[in-house]
Chains A and B, each alone.
Chain A
Amino acid sequence: MGRVIYMDNHATTPMDPRVLEAMLPYFTDKFGNAASRNHQFGWDAEAAVDQARDQMGRLINAKAKEIIFTSGATESDNLAIKGVVEFYKDKGNHIITAVTEHKAILDTCKALERTGKARVTYLPVDQQGLIDPDDVRKAITDKTILISIMHANNEIGTIHPLREIGKIAKEKNIIFHSDATQGVGKIPVDVEGMGIDLMSFTAHKLYGPKGCGALYVRSKGPRVRLTPMMDGGGHERGMRSGTLNVPGIVGFGKACELAGAEMETETARQLQLRERLHEGLFSQLDELYLNGHPTQRLPGNLNVSFAFVEGESLLMGLKDVAVSSGSACTSATLEPSYVLKALGVGDDLAHTSIRFGLGRFNTQEEVDRVIERVVHEVRRLRDMSPLYEMAKEGVDLKSFQWARE
């Protein structure tokens, strides 16, 4: 077996060597605590952190001081939602979000519901995974304090109309949070133009280090306030105490700078690779179904159901390719993907879905190799699939009397 091809860039991305290079001095020579105000070591660390905030702010059209560092997007989501609910509890307790959000949002909302701290509306999505801004408007009550809608979905790559939703939030004077973990660095993000008040993102999805996340917190128009989750030294404008992860932050900043500088060419390149992958698979195999939106999607995302072939068995065959599946057998919950379910994809097809996540370091040769491997394995497994055989014989699988366990 040769080298394994990594095509799971929604899960995480490899660090860009240029990012690593920028980080290295901050592990050794420049090890200072950014909160040390009275010596060179501290000043160097603080300057590096300030530079990173600047690089990050430029990528998302925010001011440097509006960046709050966290341990990752999950913490950012928790801080945003719980922080708003706690701080604005006298104003209301209603949150609007969507069924296809990441678990970091959904489980945070559920926890708030359980403890009686919030009421939550989970908006549906259409068959391509899109939120209807009108649904957001209709869900607003006089108790609504927060709207939280992700930028791009992590499974199907569908990009939500944040600009429209932001406009509605502004109009109604409601705080608008977005989990932009998958979008930042891949597609343009503009917190001003999109009317975003809070935004979660993380370094390891854009070729930076793991364990380093950020929450953008609007400072003006309106100034957004949050109740912190941890008590401590009052770092990060009092919103997130704890000594800053200086090397990680330096890497995050560098990663944002690179992503911004190369976005245009990289997007075009990834789109071309994705179309090649799409075309290569769909032209050689029948009964494939694209999950998500045909155009409103992340350039590196392709999510396909390979009907009659169970996802985990396909992954097992593709041992030299790293991708992921919406099959229940690959999830901790033993349920197929709730995102696909929300789109109206049946459990039968959800079990056969594979997510391809193209990234900066994927090449055309790799795409061609993946096409070849997937086509080979799908054919092999379909030859072994009673469902494929039945479908070819004209049996209606929907009305067939299955002997369920």
Chain B
Amino acid sequence: MAYSDKVIDHYENPRNVGSFSKDEPDVGTGIVGAPECGDVMKLQLKINDAGVIEDARFKTFGCGSAIASSSYVTELVKGKSLEDALTIKNTQIVEDLSLPPVKIHCSVLAEDAIKAAISDWKKRHGESLEAGSKPADKAASNQ
């Protein structure tokens, strides 16, 4: 199977690989997929008080397209508000990375990872952040 140039670029030069400490109050962590399915993505978002994603990190176990998809979304979400980040659809990832049909699940996983990371952050800040308002107390952290 031939990979698109963009997939190869993200695979060979992945952006924002690494981890934030899960205990940092402004970090939301999403882990999606399962080892026996051959794909696990961990996406971490650093979200400021204004509800804007300031930074992102990922680690991915999966094929080249899964690695590229997660690397790509770390770039995509940076600087976005939570609402805007939640509008990112897997189809956009498919299009931008020219993923073939058999790799669509990689893009779905990447979309899920964004949602999971934001949901984790929200949970840790109480459910009060429906519209990007001031985050709730740090005590809500479940980590």
Q: How far is the CB of B119 from chain A (nearest CB, A)?
A: 10
- B102, A334: Cβ atoms closer than 8 Å: yes
A387 with B63, Cβ < 8 A, contacts A397-B35, A405-B109 known:
no
A313 to B59, CA, bound (A): 13
A384 with B35, Cβ < 8 A, contacts A316-B11, A389-B19, A403-B116 known:
no
Partner of B40, one of A317, A347, A386: A386
Measured CB to CB, the nearest residue on chain A to B19 is A389
Number of A-B contacts (CB under 8 A): 83
Q: How far is the CB of A20 from chain B (nearest CB, A)?
A: 30
A316 to B12, CA, bound (A): 9
Measured CB to CB, the nearest residue on chain B to A335 is B38
> Which of A29-37, A189-197, A304-312 has 4 or more CB atoms under 8 Å from chain B?
A304-312
Q: Which of B36, B41, B116 has the most CB of A within 10 A?
A: B36
Interface residue B105 (Cβ < 8 Å from any Cβ of A): yes
Measured CB to CB, the nearest residue on chain B to A327 is B38
Q: Which of B35, B60, B63, B64 has the most CB of A within 10 A?
A: B35
- B62, A310: Cβ atoms closer than 8 Å: yes
Interface residue B37 (Cβ < 8 Å from any Cβ of A): yes
- B33, A351: Cβ atoms closer than 8 Å: no
Measured CB to CB, the nearest residue on chain B to A308 is B61
- A328, B116: Cβ atoms closer than 8 Å: no
A111 to B64, CA, bound (A): 36
A351 to B42, CA, bound (A): 18
Which A residues touch B60, using CB under 8 A? 384-386
Interface residue A404 (Cβ < 8 Å from any Cβ of B): yes
- A310, B61: Cβ atoms closer than 8 Å: yes
Partner of A313, one of B67, B102, B108, B112: B67
- B38, A403: Cβ atoms closer than 8 Å: no
Chain B interface, DSSP helix/strand/loop, else mixed: mixed
- A312, B35: Cβ atoms closer than 8 Å: no
A389 with B59, Cβ < 8 A, contacts A316-B64, A384-B17 known:
yes
Which B residues touch A329, using CB under 8 A? 38, 63
Write the A2-16 contact mask toward B (1 if CB under 8 angstroms, else 0).
000000000000000
Interface residue A348 (Cβ < 8 Å from any Cβ of B): yes
User: Quick one: which of A309-344 are within 8 Å of B by CB?
Assistant: 309-310, 312-313, 316-317, 327-329, 334, 336
- B14, A386: Cβ atoms closer than 8 Å: no
Interface residue B34 (Cβ < 8 Å from any Cβ of A): yes
Interface residue A383 (Cβ < 8 Å from any Cβ of B): yes
Which B residues touch A336, using CB under 8 A? 38
A327 to B11, CA, bound (A): 18
Partner of A312, one of B17, B19, B42, B64: B64
- B41, A386: Cβ atoms closer than 8 Å: yes
Write the B60-98 contact mask toward A (1 if CB under 8 angstroms, else 0).
111110110000000000000000000000000000000
A346 to B35, CA, bound (A): 10
- A386, B42: Cβ atoms closer than 8 Å: yes
- B59, A385: Cβ atoms closer than 8 Å: yes
A312 with B61, Cβ < 8 A, contacts A346-B36, A405-B33 known:
no
A315 to B71, CA, bound (A): 19
Partner of A386, one of B36, B59, B63: B59
User: Quick one: which of A359-405 are within 8 Å of B by CB?
Assistant: 383-389, 397, 402-405
A-B contact pairs, 20 of them (CB 8 A): A310-B63, A313-B11, A316-B3, A327-B38, A327-B63, A329-B63, A334-B102, A346-B36, A351-B35, A383-B17, A384-B59, A384-B67, A385-B61, A386-B59, A387-B61, A402-B34, A403-B31, A404-B33, A405-B33, A405-B112
A310 to B41, CA, bound (A): 12
A385 to B14, CA, bound (A): 12
Interface residue B39 (Cβ < 8 Å from any Cβ of A): yes
Which A residues touch B33, using CB under 8 A? 402-405
Partner of B64, one of A313, A346, A348: A313
Which A residues touch B19, using CB under 8 A? 389
Measured CB to CB, the nearest residue on chain A to B67 is A313
A383 to B35, CA, bound (A): 16
- A387, B37: Cβ atoms closer than 8 Å: no
- A405, B35: Cβ atoms closer than 8 Å: no
A402 to B61, CA, bound (A): 13
Q: How far is the CB of A118 from chain B (nearest CB, A)?
A: 33
Q: How far is the CB of A216 from chain B (nearest CB, A)?
A: 37
A316 to B63, CA, bound (A): 8
A405 to B108, CA, bound (A): 9
Q: How far is the CB of B139 from chain A (nearest CB, A)?
A: 23
A386 with B108, Cβ < 8 A, contacts A348-B36, A397-B35 known:
no
A316 to B65, CA, bound (A): 10
Q: How far is the CB of A127 from chain B (nearest CB, A)?
A: 18
Q: Which of A383, A386, A404 has the most CB of B within 10 A?
A: A386
